[in-house]
Amino acid sequence: MFNILTARDFYSVLVEDFDDFVAAPHSARRAMHCATTAYHLHEWVWGDWLSKNKTARDALGISARDRDLFLQWIDRYCVWFRIVQDLANGTKHFARDAGFETVFVGGFGEGGFGVGPYGKGYLVIDWGQEAGDQRWLPAAHLLEVVVRFWRDFFQRYLPSADLPVSRHHVD
């Protein structure tokens, strides 16, 4: 795809999408770009590298050359990945029944925290009243943990001195 040829290149797109979102956490467009890229990165990792590398699959404990086993591994080590998958598939298939609502919080009295930084709105996942204290999940928190998962994955299993770094990650 143009000059995006490897899983590492696609990870670079994810880092850029994440940095764009952090600069405008009220932007549904930027959030959806980041979520969609974060989800589809598994396909790039699988197709570009992991499906062909038995040693790496063995290191992950994936016994067969099966992309679904890789997805199960991701779900086990990144519990938030399934939510990103639901967001990505929701945009692709116009699905609105993911088990949660997506909400733009634009002012005080909305969402779990009121208005966001500098008086701007922000995006949240609403799990509904039955979730109690765990009802609200800011989209920024969700995207942060999934991007960090991928960063850690690349650092551990496909290390590179030139791995892109988000300007919003301090560690």
pLDDT in tens, 56-95: 999 999 989 999 999 999 999 999 999 999 999 865 555 5
Delimit the domains of the chain by residue range: 8-157
User: DSSP assignment, residue 133?
Assistant: G
- CA–CA separation, 60 and 57 (whole Å): 5
Model confidence, pTM: 0.87
β strands within 26-169, DSSP E = 101-105, 122-126, 136-138
pLDDT in tens, 17-65: 999 999 999 999 999 999 999 999 999 999 999 999 999 999 999 989 9
- Give the type of residue at 52: K
How many other C-beta atoms are found inside a 10 Å radius of the C-beta of residue 61? Answer: 9
- CA–CA separation, 121 and 115 (whole Å): 6
- CA–CA separation, 105 and 44 (whole Å): 33
